[in-house]
Structure formats: C-alpha cells, structure tokens
Amino acid sequence: MTTTRRQALIATASLAIGAVLPFRAGAFVFPPEVLQDKYPADPSFDAAVSLSDLEAIAHRRLDAMSEAYIDGAAGDEITLRWNREAYDKIKILPRVLHDVSVVDTRTTVLGIPLDFPILLGPTALHKLAHPDGELATARAAASAHALMGLSTMSSTTLEDVAAASNSPKWFQLYVQKDKGFTAELVQRAVKSGYKALVVTVDTPTEGARNRQQRAGFHLPPGVDLANLRGLKTASGRAPGTEREVFENILPDKLTWKEIEWLQSLSSLPVLLKGILNPEDAALAVKQGVAGVIVSNHGARNLDTVPATIEALPRITDRVAGRITVLVDGGVRRGTDVLKALARGANAVLVGRPIFYGLSAAGEAGVVKMLGILRKEFEMAMALSGRTRISEIVPEVIWKE
Ligand code: FNR
C-alpha cells in the first residue's frame, strides 16, 4: 500500500500526540478526500516545533487580506499585546521529587470527557486559511481527540461540519435581529448533534478593526457565510463582510432576557462567551447558564480591556466552582495552559493557532498544532511536579 504525503503528515502530526504518555493513540480512518494533496503542506511544516513556527509559516502563505483579518485586533492592538504579555509575566513555582512517570491530562467539561483541556475555539471563515476550511478542522479535532467550537460565521454549513467527524462539537451563536432565524439556527445545531450553545455576548457592535479595514477585508470568491445563506442586508444583498453582519444582522439589544429565551429554545447547555467582569459572571450564575468563557474576543472588539488571564482569577473567585469557567486569548504554549488552570479555568480555547495550522498543512496542521500544545502542557505538568489536573492549584504560580 502506498502512503501519500498527506497520510504521512497526519500520521506524524498524530504521533506527537500521546508521545509522552500512555494516551489513546489516534486510530481514525480518514475519508479519501482528505488524503488528496490538493493544497500541499508547506515544505517547512515537518520542522515546525512550536506554535510560533506554524505562525511563521502562515505568515508566508496567507494572502495579505486574510492575514490582516486573522491576526488583526481592535484599535492600537494594545489588548492583543497584553493577552500575550500577561502570560509571559506569570512565573511557575515547581515542585520536585514527585513521581511524574505518568501524567494524566484528562478532564471533563460539561459532561464531555476530554483527553486534555485545550479546545478549538469558535472562529469564522476557516476557508481563508485552507480550501477544506472547517471540514479540515473538524477532522483534525477527531484525530486529536479535541472538542471543536463552530462559529455561526463559518464558511461551511454546520450540518456539513457535524458530518465531517465524530468529535464532540459546540455551536457558537451570534444571536440575530431576526429571532425566527436565530431559533432556526439553534434547531439546526440541535438536530446536527452539537453538544452546547456558546452565545457570544461581547459583540453588540463591531470594534475598530483598523488592520482589517486598511486591508479592505471582504469575502474572497468561493467563501461565504454558509450558515447565514438566505439572510440579506438592508440593501437586499448577502452580507459580504463581517462588518455588514455586525451592522445589519446582529442586534445591539442583546440582554439577559434574550439569554433566557435562548435557554428555553433547547435543552443544550448555554455558555456565555466574552465575560470579563465578575459582576456579569455572578449574573450568569444567577441566570443558570452552564458556563462562561472569559474572553476579550482575541482583542478584536474593545481595545485596552485587560488580558483575559488577568481577568480570570476575579471571575473564578466570584463563580466559586458553581459553573464551568473557560478562558481564551493568547494561549500559545503548554505553560499558558498550566497557568490558566492554576488560576481556576476548567480548560482553555485557542483561536488564531487554528488558522496557523490550517494554513501550514490543513487538517494535519491543526492536528500538529494541538499535538504540540498538548505535549508542551504534559511537559509543563511533569516539570512542575503535577500529575493530574486536580493538582494544578493556585500554588503552581509564583507569588511576588
Ligand atoms: C475569532 N473569534 C470569534 N469569536 C466568536 O465568538 N465568533 C466568531 O465568529 C469568531 N471569529 C473569529 C475569527 C478570527 C479570525 C479570530 C482570530 C477570532 C474569537 C475567538 O473565538 C477567540 O475568542 C480568540 O481568537 C482567542 O484568542 P487567540 O487564541 O486568537 O489569541
């Protein structure tokens, strides 16, 4: 039997997963279309050893407009910088002479068993980075045993993504002005087997995404907002940019009343994405949602809000274990995952790194990205003397 380069890539990328520990080896059979080399991996893909290596490849391969869309943030991109700097400033205080021969990264989030606490965050338009778009991401999630969040603004329909792999998936919901359309989206997500609704609550309007504006961002040919087909802007056209969606389709009146309405639409657990203020976290508990995601939307909305890792402890303190707390924004290293868990998060999500993996090598690239992060997290646990998720306590962090 001959092995295509793509098969070899996915096999190598999968090997990175579980190499440290006795984890389940990925035993997935990939459908034939995935194995076609229609968009070959970057020649330096095999040599990539960190997420920043994958990012460097993506910067070479992405067109300028897509790069500005993916990497850009709001205003002067101060929060974008803070999201990273805040992780870098946190020091780890290790324990030694603990038996770390077996490190167990398994956890459970909203009843879903996970091999490791790193999720693929909901991000729009994966086809900007690879022609297979969200299908590649969904297959990668399955082979890496990861949970995938799918954006309302995906470039592939939620039904096709659900059918692409058997990994557990959550649907990220941008509530629309058209309540009927919103309810329909929820029903489609339920029918397709999504396991939770992630309601993004930090985008009542668009942020000043200057980098994106300067690049004149628009949907390139062949890429559309697949879940929103049928929705029209005031001019009667389908929305061609994210800005048109934010301006014409999303309500600026999203309140707790609408959250209650969404909870009544299905039995899916509801997570609120975009919580930074402990007061809002307290209201979320009161509202009976299943969880919150501490997020500043990857610094894409309101510049100069705090880094999420900085906002996190105030929220975990306030929530006090009553609901699930996740965090995203700037997670690029296994040590970042350790720090987020030490500050009380149940798991983390990554956004931009998905695009870096996709751009470098499609499905294999996302598998490799997750494999690197997971392995680094295992190393961080072992080197800090922690062998289970429950041992990642606040004392893991150095106090000045
Ligand atoms: C996003 N994000 C996002 N969030 C969301 O709720 N719905 C969406 O459609 C999108 N789309 C999107 C596109 C792109 C290109 C990016 C980079 C981000 C935000 C995303 O879910 C997450 O909050 C951040 O990306 C996390 O920060 P990092 O990991 O990118 O630093």
For residue 185, the domain's CATH number is: 3.20.20.70
Confidence of residue 145 (pLDDT cuts 50, 70, 90): very high
Q: Residue 101 to residues 20, 163, 379, 383, 387: CA-CA distances in angstroms?
A: 10, 38, 11, 11, 8
Q: Residue 50 domain-assigned? A: no
Q: Which atom of ligand 1 is nearest to the CA of 274?
A: 23
Q: Residue 31 domain-assigned? A: no
How far does the centroid of ligand 1 lie from the alpha carbon of residue 154, in Å? 11
How far does the centroid of ligand 1 lie from the alpha carbon of residue 170, in Å? 14
Q: Residue 80 domain-assigned? A: yes
Nearest to 34 by CA among 1, 66, 5: 5
pLDDT at 1 over 70: no
Q: Which range marks the domain in which residue 283 is found? A: 76-203+253-396
Both tokens of residue 144?
Answer: 């890496």
Both tokens of residue 43?
Answer: 């020649």
Whole-number pLDDT of residue 290: 98
User: In 3-state terms, what secondary structure has residue 64?
Assistant: helix
Q: Provide the CB-side half-sphere exposure for 251 (13 A, CA).
A: 14
The reply to whether ligand 1 has any atom less than 6 angstroms from the CB of 329 is yes
Nearest residue (CA) to ligand 1, atom 6: 200
The reply to whether ligand 1 has any atom less than 6 angstroms from the CB of 331 is yes
Higher pLDDT, 395 or 13: 395
- The full length of the chain comes to 400
**98 an active-site residue?**
no
Whole-number pLDDT of residue 22: 33
pLDDT at 19 over 70: no
Q: What is the mean pLDDT of residues 127-151?
A: 97
Nearest residue (CA) to ligand 1, atom 3: 123
The reply to whether ligand 1 has any atom less than 6 angstroms from the CB of 350 is yes
pLDDT at 76 over 60: yes
Nearest residue (CA) to ligand 1, atom 18: 123
Q: What is the mean pLDDT of residues 196-208?
A: 94
Q: Residue 355 domain-assigned? A: yes
Both tokens of residue 355?
Answer: 């695009």
Confidence of residue 236 (pLDDT cuts 50, 70, 90): confident
Neighbours of 14 (CB within 10 A): 23
**Which stretches within 192-277 are classed as H helix?**
210-214, 242-248, 256-265
The reply to whether ligand 1 has any atom less than 6 angstroms from the CB of 173 is no
The reply to whether ligand 1 has any atom less than 6 angstroms from the CB of 18 is no
Q: Which atom of ligand 1 is nearest to the CA of 154?
A: 9
Angle at 15 between CA 11 and CA 16, to 5 degrees: 125
pLDDT digits (tens, 9 = 90+) for 153-193: 999 999 999 999 999 999 999 998 889 999 999 999 999 99
Lowest-confidence segment of 24-33, 114-123, 148-157, 209-218 by average pLDDT: 24-33
How far does the centroid of ligand 1 lie from the alpha carbon of residue 94, in Å? 32
- The answer to whether 192 touches 219, Cβ cutoff 8 Å, is no
CB neighbours of 275 closer than 8 A, spacing ≥ 6? Answer: 201, 202, 281, 284, 292, 293, 294, 295, 315
Confidence of residue 238 (pLDDT cuts 50, 70, 90): confident
Both tokens of residue 109?
Answer: 């989030």
The reply to whether ligand 1 has any atom less than 6 angstroms from the CB of 124 is yes
CB neighbours of 198 closer than 8 A, spacing ≥ 6? Answer: 122, 149, 170, 171, 172, 173, 271, 273, 293
pLDDT at 56 over 50: yes
Neighbours of 304 (CB within 10 A): 12
Nearest residue (CA) to ligand 1, atom 25: 351
Question: How many independent structural domains does the chain possess?
Answer: 1
Set 126, 130, 145, 297: catalytic member: 297
Whole-number pLDDT of residue 218: 92
How far does the centroid of ligand 1 lie from the alpha carbon of residue 98, in Å? 38
Whole-number pLDDT of residue 21: 36
Whole-number pLDDT of residue 323: 98
Confidence of residue 8 (pLDDT cuts 50, 70, 90): low
Whole-number pLDDT of residue 115: 98
192 pairs with which residues across the strands? none
Q: Residue 38 domain-assigned? A: no
Q: Residue 20 domain-assigned? A: no
Q: Residue 152 domain-assigned? A: yes
Burial class (CB in 10 A: 0-12, 13-18, 19+), 296: buried
- Determine how β-strand 107-109 pairs with β-strand 112-114: antiparallel
Higher pLDDT, 192 or 249: 192
Confidence of residue 24 (pLDDT cuts 50, 70, 90): very low
What span, in angstroms and rounded, lies between the C-alpha atoms of 193 and 210?
A: 37
CB neighbours of 25 closer than 8 A, spacing ≥ 6? Answer: 14, 18
Q: Residue 387 domain-assigned? A: yes
pLDDT digits (tens, 9 = 90+) for 279-301: 999 999 999 999 999 999 999 99
Which amino acid belongs to residue 86? Answer: A
What span, in angstroms and rounded, lies between the C-alpha atoms of 224 and 126?
A: 11
Whole-number pLDDT of residue 13: 55
What span, in angstroms and rounded, lies between the C-alpha atoms of 167 and 159?
A: 14
Both tokens of residue 101?
Answer: 């021969």
Q: What is the mean pLDDT of residues 87-107?
A: 97
Lowest-confidence segment of 30-39, 263-272, 279-288, 356-365 by average pLDDT: 30-39
Nearest residue (CA) to ligand 1, atom 12: 123
pTM: 0.92
How far does the centroid of ligand 1 lie from the alpha carbon of residue 30, in Å? 27
Tell me the average pLDDT of the chain. Answer: 90
What span, in angstroms and rounded, lies between the C-alpha atoms of 90 and 80?
A: 17
How far does the centroid of ligand 1 lie from the alpha carbon of residue 21, in Å? 30
- The answer to whether 341 touches 395, Cβ cutoff 8 Å, is no
CA 169 to chain centre: 11
What's the CA dihedral at 369, 109, 126, 234 to 10 degrees?
-160
Whole-number pLDDT of residue 33: 46
